[in-house]
Amino acid sequence: MPTETRSFLITKSDRSLKDKTGKVFTVPTGWENLPAGDASVTRKVKSLGPTWTVQEK
């Protein structure tokens, strides 16, 4: 289980992401991609522990 919050860039795969250096990471088992736009859900999820944020641009 990841222990730190990270930011990633989007890739063509739903289960892999790359960081700003280009290193590819696999999304942890049991983690889900939540759609953007619901601030209350985002706050709740981020309060529960480490999160990975995907930047589309």
Q: Given this model, what pLDDT does residue 28 score? A: 87
Task: Look at the block and give the residue holding tokens 């930011």.
Answer: 7
| Assigned domain for 37 exists | yes
Give Cα separations from 55 to 4, 9, 45 (angstroms): 17, 5, 17
Query: In sequence order, what DSSP letters do the residues of 16-45 get, joined into one string?
Result: EEE-TT--EEEPPTT---PPTT-HHHHHHH
Give residue 25's domain range. 6-55
pTM of the predicted structure, to 2 decimals: 0.73
Residue 1, in any domain of the structure: no
Domain count, the chain: 1
* Model pLDDT for residues 10-41, shown as the tens digit of each residue: 888 888 999 999 999 999 888 888 888 889 99
